[in-house]
Amino acid sequence: MTSSCKLVLVAPLVALGCLLASSGAARADRVIDAFSDPLPLTTLPGTSTPAPLMWAGRSGSSTQLEQTSSQSNLAGVLGGHRYTRVREATLSNLVVASSTQASGRPALTYATGTGPSGLMSLEYGSLSALNANLLVDGSQAFELSITGDMDDGATPRPVQLTIAVRSGTSALVSRSFALLSDGVYQFPFSLFSGVSFSDLDYVRFTFDATLVAAVDYTLIGGLRTTNCVQSGGALADRFVDTFEANLPLRTIPGSGTYPIMWAGTINGVSKAVDTAAQSGLAGVLGGGRDTRVAASAIQNFLAASMTSVGATPALTYATGYPTSGSLTLEYGARGALNANLSALRAFELELDGDLASGAPRPVALTVTVTSGAVTSTAQLSLLGNGRYYLPFTAFSGINFADVDRLKFFFDASAVSAVDFTLIGGLRATACVN
């Protein structure tokens, strides 16, 4: 999607920059399910407090063959609808799927007792066709991250994953894979012969542990697509900020209060800088984010807000005239991150905006990395829409096995009326395309 609209205030709503509709977008949803929308509240037999979970099998004197749920209007799900099924056919064991957190990210945990471990399926597009173009951003495969006890003990207990997909009126095409150890698994689209991934209408993930016993596992960070198929063992991106955690609440004079940060002048009220220090944030490396929005011309109005592109979290920065100010995102400012990024190769972000519309209006990105007593900076010029990479080799003297502080400074003070969206977070990656 190429942004072309300007920042507009519509009381009582704030419309920031580009209204990010999925129709006409030049980028597919990279997220199939972010797991940020919890399972429905269920009270497990023998307990009194509802929790975001589903269960099947036997719990005390209560039994049920399966539990299903149909959930709609889910912001973090491709197509907005998820159909979930949990099943334990022998009624001799308890299996529970629950919405959790792992490594600061939304997760889905599947836990079982000592008997047969049942199955869980997640369906997307069962109510209406997804019409999802998964190729438009270069995606080549489905991807997931799993941790569990499948390979603990003397006898392996693999979970069988079957992915079933359909496009148009064609037949359902399925492929099965064994999930045996912790890690990142990738499932290339090329394995699904005859399916058009430029117009995918339905996808189902079935995790079948009926042939093994006492298996527990967690799916971390959602089901997604990837544009980088890695040979050998795949490494997941390490997120600096997923953009799932909102910015703090601010009052827009004459409009209302919203999770937004702003600077400049609006309805006769001016401020040159807006700063915020947030802590305890899920989806943020170290849990803390320091944000700064600054107006380089006080008569301008500019704002930053968390939004989404389809199901993918994003951050939008929108400005008026005459100059576009700056945005700073900092991590580790109030306590060392001690983050080991040594297995990865570069920082990565994806940008969509109007920087190249009309006369070029590049935004200068400066990334600052601190490790111990060493601080190093590197720069990129952001102009066209797409992915940008800043290799770790650009940061002289930095020990990426122990990164303590990170700062991303987006400087648009030399240009005017720039709007851009950062899609899918700030991350470190092993894949550089």
Q: Looking at this protein, which amino acid is placed at residue 206?
A: T
In whole angstroms, give the CA distance from residue 179 to residue 123: 19
Instruction: Reduce the secondary structure of 191-251 to three states and give it as a string.
Output: HCCCCCCCCECEEEEEEECCCCECCCEEEEEEEEEECCCCCCCECCCEEEECCCCCCCEEE
Reduce the DSSP state of residue 48 to 3 states and report it.
coil
Name the residue with higher pLDDT: 137 or 347. 347
Is a pLDDT exceeding 90 seen at residue 309?
no
Phi, psi of 266 (to 5 degrees): -145, 125
Out of 2.60.120, 2.40.50, 2.40.128, 3.30.460, the CATH code matching 8-24+240-429 is 2.60.120
pTM here is 0.77
Among 81, 87, 84, CA closest to 99? 84
Q: Looking at this protein, which amino acid is placed at residue 385?
A: N
**Lowest mean pLDDT, pick from 131-135, 386-390, 396-400, 429-433:** 429-433
Q: What is the mean pLDDT of residues 283-306?
A: 95
**Lowest mean pLDDT, pick from 6-10, 118-122, 284-288, 354-358:** 6-10
Instruction: Give residue 214's pLDDT.
Output: 93
In whole angstroms, give the CA distance from residue 216 to residue 213: 9
Instruction: Give residue 232's pLDDT.
Output: 67
Exposure string over 290-309, b if 16+ CB within 10 A, otherwise e: bbbbbbbbeebbbbbbbbbb
Q: What is the mean pLDDT of residues 1-12?
A: 34
Q: Is 225 exposed, middle or buried (0-12, 13-18, 19+ CB in 10 A)?
A: buried
Q: What is the mean pLDDT of residues 351-371?
A: 95
Q: What is the mean pLDDT of residues 233-261?
A: 92
Instruction: Give residue 20's pLDDT.
Output: 27
Centre a 10 Å sphere on the Cβ of residue 208 and count the other Cβ atoms it contains. 18
Centre a 10 Å sphere on the Cβ of residue 51 and count the other Cβ atoms it contains. 15
Q: Is 201 exposed, middle or buried (0-12, 13-18, 19+ CB in 10 A)?
A: buried
Q: Is 226 exposed, middle or buried (0-12, 13-18, 19+ CB in 10 A)?
A: buried
Report which DSSP code applies to 282.
T
Place of tokens 């596992």: 217
- Please state, rounded to an integer, the average pLDDT across all residues of the chain: 90
End-to-end CA distance of the chain: 21
Is a pLDDT exceeding 90 seen at residue 386?
no
Is a pLDDT exceeding 50 seen at residue 398?
yes
Is a pLDDT exceeding 80 seen at residue 6?
no
In whole angstroms, give the CA distance from residue 412 to residue 414: 5
- R_g over Cα of the chain: 23
Report which DSSP code applies to 40.
P
Centre a 10 Å sphere on the Cβ of residue 60 and count the other Cβ atoms it contains. 9
In whole angstroms, give the CA distance from residue 71 to residue 63: 23
Q: What is the mean pLDDT of residues 267-276?
A: 96
Of all residues in the chain, the percent with pLDDT exceeding 70 is: 93
Q: What is the mean pLDDT of residues 16-20?
A: 31
In whole angstroms, give the CA distance from residue 115 to residue 314: 42
Q: What is the dihedral of CA 389, 393, 395, 401, to 10 degrees?
A: 100
- Over residues 402-413, the pLDDT tens digits come to 999 999 999 999
Domains 8-24+240-429 and 34-233 share a fold: yes
Is a pLDDT exceeding 50 seen at residue 89?
yes
Instruction: Give residue 119's pLDDT.
Output: 97
Reduce the DSSP state of residue 287 to 3 states and report it.
helix
- Over residues 147-163, the pLDDT tens digits come to 999 988 778 999 999 99
Residue 408 region by backbone torsions, left for phi larger than 0, else alpha for psi between -120 and 50, else beta: beta
Q: What is the mean pLDDT of residues 322-328?
A: 92
In whole angstroms, give the CA distance from residue 245 to residue 188: 30
Name the residue with higher pLDDT: 165 or 343. 165
Instruction: Give residue 124's pLDDT.
Output: 98
Centre a 10 Å sphere on the Cβ of residue 372 and count the other Cβ atoms it contains. 12
- Over residues 168-207, the pLDDT tens digits come to 988 999 999 999 988 889 999 999 999 999 999 999 999 9
In whole angstroms, give the CA distance from residue 202 to residue 360: 40
Instruction: Give residue 237's pLDDT.
Output: 85
Name the residue with higher pLDDT: 244 or 17. 244
Is a pLDDT exceeding 80 seen at residue 278?
yes
Q: What is the mean pLDDT of residues 337-349?
A: 95
Place of tokens 């997941």: 236
In whole angstroms, give the CA distance from residue 87 to residue 364: 52
- Over residues 19-37, the pLDDT tens digits come to 222 223 333 347 899 999 9
**Per-domain boundaries in the chain:** 8-24+240-429, 34-233
* C-alpha dihedral sign at 245, 250, 252, 255: positive
Out of 1.10.155, 1.10.10, 2.60.120, 2.60.40, the CATH code matching 34-233 is 2.60.120
Residue 313, beta-bridge partner list = 308
Instruction: Reduce the secondary structure of 69-108 to three states and give it as a string.
Output: EEECCCCCEHHHCEEEEEECCCCCCEEEEEEEEECCEEEE
Of all residues in the chain, the percent with pLDDT exceeding 90 is: 78
pLDDT band at 40 (very low <50, low <70, confident <90, very high): very high
Q: Looking at this protein, which amino acid is placed at residue 81?
A: H
Sheet (strand 173-179) strand order: 66-71, 82-87, 119-124, 202-208, 159-166, 173-179
In whole angstroms, give the CA distance from residue 297 to residue 20: 27
Instruction: Give residue 136's pLDDT.
Output: 85
